[in-house]
C-alpha cells in the first residue's frame, strides 16, 4: 500500500509526480504530498488530506517548481489520515522522505530520537526515518552514508526515497520487502512503486531486488545489493502499455469492469485452447514434466483471490482426484508447515504484489519445501510472476476499481486452464480435458447473457439500501461464490454481510433470521439444488426475505417475500463463474444507491503491499 513516485529531470517535475500519483492512487488515497527542490535547493513541500485531486488543487493555487522531487499517496497504517501524517516527512528542512511499508521498531527509534532532541510532528512510523537520517548526517556522515546507516537500523518492510538539499542532484532509494522500480529516461530518471506510475515518461525499467540501495542521478543509476556490492540489474522494456483509464460511457470503473468480463475471459482463453486440449507452453518450459509429478496442490491467496482458490478446490478434487488445500497467505506465512516435495505451491493474485502472498512464496522457497511454485496473476511485471517457477497470466487488463471483479472471473478461468493442463500432464483423462475445453468456449456468451439481467438486479438492489446486515448462501462450489458476494457487498456498500454454506444455517446462524434480514442465495441447477431449496424453506418459514438467483429451468416457490431473478441455464462447471456476475451487480447498484465512493471505498486500497 501507499504509492511512491520520484523524478530527477532537466525539466520541472511537479506535474510528472502528480500524474504518477494519480496512477498510483489505487494503492491508497487517504492523503497525498510532494516535496520538490527549488532552484536555491530549498525543500518545498505541499500535502493534502484526501485524494490526489485535493493535492492538485492546492498545487494549482500555489505551484512549486523544481527539477528533483518525490511524492506519495498514503494508505494510513500508523496515525490517522491527516495532513500532518501525510508524506513526504521532513527533518530540520534538510531531508525529505517518502516511504511504503511498516517500520516495526519505530517506537524504540522514536524514543531514542526524542532523547536526542528531535521533535515529531506526526504519529507515523515514517517520520523516524527522516530524523534518523538527519541524526546520522549531524554526526558527520555524507547523505549516502547517513541513509545507509539509517536503513541498517530499520526493522520491517520498506521502500523509501530520500531527497536532501545537501545533494540536490541525487535521489536515494532503498528496497526491503516493498516493491520499487527505477524508470530510465534520457538525461532524466524516475522511481515508482510500480511501472504504471511511470508509463507516461518511460517504458524502460529496472526492478530493484530486496536489499537493494540505489543512487539515482539525471544521467546515471548506481545500484548496490544487500551485501553492499555494486551490481548491474537488467533493464526491461515494459509491455504494460498505457493503461486505459477512461470510463467511456460508464459512471464507475467497477461497472465498466463488470461489463468487460466477457471480453477479459475471451482474452484469457485466447491462445490457450486447442481443439480438444490446452496448450502447455503458456505456463513455462518443462511444465509438463513438473505437473506430471504433482500429487497435491497448495493454494495461497488473500481476499477475493482466496475465494477463487476455494472454488478451485471443489473443481480440482472433483476433476483430478488430487488433494487441494487453500489457505489465506497471512496465516500460512507464519505457520510451521511440513516439507511436502510432491506439492505444487500455487499463488493467486490480481496485483502480484500482495505482501502476505509474496511472503508465503518466500517462505516455501527459503525452506525448499515444495516441488515447484506457480502463480496465476494479472500483472506481467509483478514480483509474484518474477519470483515463481511458473506463471499463468490472466488477461483481465488493468483493474482500477478497488473491488475486484474481472480479475476474479479470469482467475477462475485460468484455474480451469491449469486443471486441464494438469490432467493432460497426467495423461489419463482426455475426456475430462475435452469437457473443460468445450465448456470454456461457451463461457463468454453465457457471461453476455447474464449481464442482460442488469436492469432487474438494479431494481432488486433498492431493497438493500436501508439494510444493515445480509446473509449470502450457497452450496458446493457456490459457497465460495456466496463468500465473494458478501465481501463485495461489505466493501463497497458498507453493509455487514456474511456467507454460509446453506446446510450450516441450522447450526447457529438461523437465529439471526427475521424479516429485517435479507438472504441472498445462488441456486444453479446442480445435484445440490434440492438440498439448497430445503434450506431456503427453513429460512422462509422463519420470516426471512429471500433474494434468489436461480437457473431458469428450476421451479422456486413464489410469494411476496421470495424475489427471484432467473439466470440462463449453465453447465455445472461454469456455474461459479456465471453466478458471480449478478452478485457483483447487486453490490454495485446497492453502493450507487447508498452514494458510497464505489471505486475507492473507505479504508481500502487496491494493492496491499503491507502485511
For the chain, what is the radius of gyration of the CA atoms? 26
Per CB under 6 A, the list member of 13, 324, 608, 610 interacting with ligand F6R is 608
Among 256, 406, 453, 606, the active-site one is: 606
Q: Cα-Cα-Cα-Cα dihedral of 449, 452, 456, 457, to 10°? A: 80
Q: How many residues bind ligand F6R (CB under 6 A)?
A: 14
Give the DSSP letter string of 202-221.
Answer: -SEEEEPPTT-EEEE-SS-E
Residue 538 has which C-alpha cell? 427453513
Among 2, 302, 324, 377, the active-site one is: 2
Residue 360 or 372 with smaller CB distance to ligand F6R: 360
CA–CA separation, 209 and 174 (whole Å): 9
Three-class SS of residue 152?
coil
Per CB under 6 A, the list member of 6, 33, 303, 480 interacting with ligand F6R is 303
> Can you say how many angstroms the Cα of residue 17 is from the centroid of all Cα atoms in its chain?
22
Give every CB contact of residue 224 below 8 A, 6+ residues apart in sequence: 212, 213, 214, 230, 231
Per CB under 6 A, the list member of 193, 304, 461, 590 interacting with ligand F6R is 304
Q: Is 2 a catalytic residue?
A: yes
Per CB under 6 A, the list member of 14, 85, 189, 351 interacting with ligand F6R is 351
Three-class SS of residue 72?
strand
Smallest gap, in angstroms, from Cβ of residue 492 to ligand F6R? 8
Smallest gap, in angstroms, from Cβ of residue 309 to ligand F6R? 10
Q: Please, what's the b/e burial string for 167-197 (b: 16 or more CB within 10 A of its CB; e: otherwise)?
A: bbebbbbbbbbbbbbbbbbeebbbbbbbbbb
If one asks whether residue 311 binds ligand F6R (CB under 6 A), the answer comes out as no
Residue 370 has which C-alpha cell? 515444495
Residue 125 or 491 with smaller CB distance to ligand F6R: 491
C-alpha neighbours within 13 Å on the C-beta side of residue 583: 40
What residue number has its CB nearest to ligand F6R? 303
If one asks whether residue 404 binds ligand F6R (CB under 6 A), the answer comes out as yes
Smallest gap, in angstroms, from Cβ of residue 485 to ligand F6R? 11
Smallest gap, in angstroms, from Cβ of residue 348 to ligand F6R? 7
H helix or E strand, kind and range, residue 74 = strand 68-74
Q: Is 324 a catalytic residue?
A: no
If one asks whether residue 590 binds ligand F6R (CB under 6 A), the answer comes out as no
If one asks whether residue 599 binds ligand F6R (CB under 6 A), the answer comes out as no
CA–CA separation, 266 and 272 (whole Å): 10
- Are 499 and 473 a contacting pair, CB within 8 Å? yes
Smallest gap, in angstroms, from Cβ of residue 536 to ligand F6R? 27
Residue 529 or 583 with smaller CB distance to ligand F6R: 583
Per CB under 6 A, the list member of 350, 416, 478, 590 interacting with ligand F6R is 350
Per CB under 6 A, the list member of 25, 30, 491, 551 interacting with ligand F6R is 491
CA–CA separation, 163 and 203 (whole Å): 24
Give the DSSP letter string of 287-324.
Answer: HHHHHHH--EEEEEE-HHHHHHHHHHHHHHHHHH---E
Window of 20-28, 76-84, 343-351, 587-595 that interacts with ligand F6R by CB under 6 A: 343-351
If one asks whether residue 486 binds ligand F6R (CB under 6 A), the answer comes out as no
Per CB under 6 A, the list member of 68, 196, 357, 609 interacting with ligand F6R is 357
The pairing of beta strand 31-37 with beta strand 43-49: antiparallel
Smallest gap, in angstroms, from Cβ of residue 347 to ligand F6R? 8
Whether omega for the bond prior to residue 88 falls within 30 degrees of 0, making it cis, is yes
> Can you say how many angstroms the Cα of residue 489 is from the centroid of all Cα atoms in its chain?
18
If one asks whether residue 382 binds ligand F6R (CB under 6 A), the answer comes out as no
CB atoms within 10 A of CB 205: 24
Window of 1-9, 279-287, 344-352, 500-508 that interacts with ligand F6R by CB under 6 A: 344-352
Per CB under 6 A, the list member of 68, 305, 493, 587 interacting with ligand F6R is 305
Three-class SS of residue 228?
coil
Per CB under 6 A, the list member of 126, 193, 202, 354 interacting with ligand F6R is 354
Residue 268 or 404 with smaller CB distance to ligand F6R: 404
Window of 350-358, 364-372, 475-483, 581-589 that interacts with ligand F6R by CB under 6 A: 350-358
Per CB under 6 A, the list member of 102, 302, 574, 575 interacting with ligand F6R is 302
Residue 170 or 590 with smaller CB distance to ligand F6R: 590
Sign of CA dihedral 349, 262, 26, 498: negative
Residue 223 has which C-alpha cell? 545500484
Name the site residues for ligand F6R (rule: CB under 6 A).
Answer: 302-305, 349-351, 354, 357, 403-404, 487, 491, 608
Annotated catalytic sites, by residue?
2, 606
Amino acid at each position: 500500500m501507499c504509492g511512491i513516485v520520484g523524478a530527477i529531470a532537466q525539466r520541472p517535475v511537479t506535474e510528472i509526480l502528480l500524474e504518477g500519483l494519480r496512477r498510483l492512487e489505487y494503492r491508497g488515497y487517504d492523503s497525498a504530498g510532494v516535496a520538490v527542490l527549488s532552484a536555491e535547493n530549498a525543500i518545498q513541500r505541499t500535502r493534502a488530506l484526501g485524494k490526489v485531486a485535493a493535492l492538485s488543487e492546492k498545487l494549482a493555487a500555489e505551484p512549486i517548481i523544481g527539477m528533483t522531487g518525490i511524492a506519495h499517496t498514503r494508505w494510513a497504517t500508523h496515525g490517522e489520515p491527516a495532513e500532518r501524517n501525510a508524506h513526504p516527512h521532513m527533518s530540520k528542512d534538510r531531508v525529505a522522505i517518502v516511504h511504503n511499508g511498516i517500520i516495526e521498531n519505530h517506537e524504540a527509534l522514536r524514543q531514542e530520537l526524542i532523547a536526542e532532541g528531535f521533535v515529531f510532528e506526526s504519529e507515523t512510523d515514517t517520520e523516524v526515518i527522516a530524523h534518523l537520517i538527519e541524526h546520522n548526517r549531524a554526526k558527520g556522515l555524507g547523505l549516502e552514508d547517513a541513509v545507509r546507516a539509517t536503513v541498517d537500523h530499520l526493522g520491517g518492510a520498506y521502500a523509501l526515497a530520500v531527497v536532501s538539499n545537501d545533494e540536490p542532484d541525487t535521489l536515494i532509494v532503498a528496497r526491503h520487502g516493498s516493491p520499487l522500480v527505477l524508470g530510465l529516461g534520457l538525461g532524466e530518471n524516475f522511481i515508482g512503486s510500480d511501472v504504471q506510475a511511470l508509463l507516461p515518461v518511460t517504458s524502460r525499467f529496472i526492478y530493484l531486488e530486496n536489499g537493494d540501495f540505489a543512487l539515482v542521478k539525471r544521467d546515471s543509476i548506481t545500484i548496490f545489493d544487500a551485501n553492499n556490492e555494486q551490481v548491474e540489474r537488467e533493464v526491461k522494456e515494459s509491455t504494460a502499455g498505457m493503461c486505459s483509464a477512461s470510463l467511456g460511457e460508464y459512471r464507475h470503473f467497477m461497472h465498466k469492469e463488470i461489463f468487460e468480463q466477457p471480453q477479459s475471459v475471451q482474452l484469457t482463453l485466447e491462445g490457450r485452447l486447442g481443439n480438444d486440449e490446452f496448450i502447455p507452453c503458456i505456463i513455462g518450459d518443462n511444465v509438463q514434466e513438473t505437473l506430471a509429478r504433482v500429487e497435491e496442490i497448495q493454494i495461497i491467496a488473500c481476499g477475493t483471490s482466496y475465494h477463487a482458490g476455494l472454488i478451485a478446490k471443489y473443481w480440482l478434487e472433483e476433476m483430478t482426484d488430487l488433494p487441494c488445500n487453500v489457505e489465506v497467505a497471512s496465516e500460512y506465512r507464519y505457520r510451521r508447515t511440513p516439507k511436502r516435495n510432491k506439492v505444487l505451491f500455487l499463488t493467486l493474485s490480481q496485483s502480484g504484489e500482495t505482501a502476505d502472498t509474496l511472503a508465503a512464496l518466500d517462505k516455501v522457497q527459503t525452506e525448499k519445501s515444495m516441488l515447484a511454485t506457480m502463480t496465476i496473476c494479472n500483472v506481467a511485471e509483478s514480483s509474484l510472476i518474477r519470483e515463481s517457477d511458473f506463471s499463468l497470466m490472466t488477461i483481465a487488463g488493468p483493474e482500477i476499481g478497488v473491488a475486484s471483479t474481472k480479475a476474479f472471473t479470469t482467475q477462475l478461468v485460468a484455474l480451469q486452464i491449469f486443471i486441464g493442463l494438469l490432467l493432460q500432464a497426467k495423461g489419463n483423462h482426455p475426456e475430462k480435458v475435452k469437457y473443460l475445453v468445450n465448456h470454456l468456449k461457451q463461457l463468454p456468451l453465457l457471461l453476455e447473457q447474464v449481464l442482460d439481467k442488469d436492469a432487474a438486479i438494479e431494481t432488486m438492489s433498492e431493497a438493500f439500501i436501508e439494510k444493515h446486515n445480509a446473509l449470502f448462501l450457497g452450496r458446493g462450489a457456490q459457497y465460495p461464490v456466496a463468500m465473494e458476494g458478501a465481501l463485495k457487498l461489505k466493501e463497497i456498500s458498507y453493509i455487514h454481510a456474511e456467507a454460509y454454506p446453506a446446510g450450516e444455517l441450522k447450526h447457529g446462524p438461523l437465529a439471526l433470521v427475521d424479516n429485517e434480514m435479507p438472504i441472498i442465495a445462488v441456486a444453479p441447477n446442480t445435484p445440490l439444488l434440492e438440498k439448497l431449496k430445503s434450506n431456503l424453506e427453513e429460512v422462509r418459514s422463519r420470516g426471512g426475505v429471500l433474494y434468489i438467483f436461480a437457473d431458469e429451468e428450476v421451479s422456486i416457490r413464489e410469494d411476496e417475500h421470495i424475489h427471484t431473478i432467473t439466470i440462463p441455464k449453465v453447465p455445472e462447471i461454469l456455474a461459479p463463474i456465471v453466478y458471480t456476475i449478478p452478485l457483483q451487480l447487486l453490490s454495485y447498484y446497492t453502493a450507487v444507491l447508498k452514494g458510497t465512493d464505489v471505486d475507492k471505498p473507505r479504508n481500502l486500497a487496491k494493492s496491499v503491499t503491507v502485511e
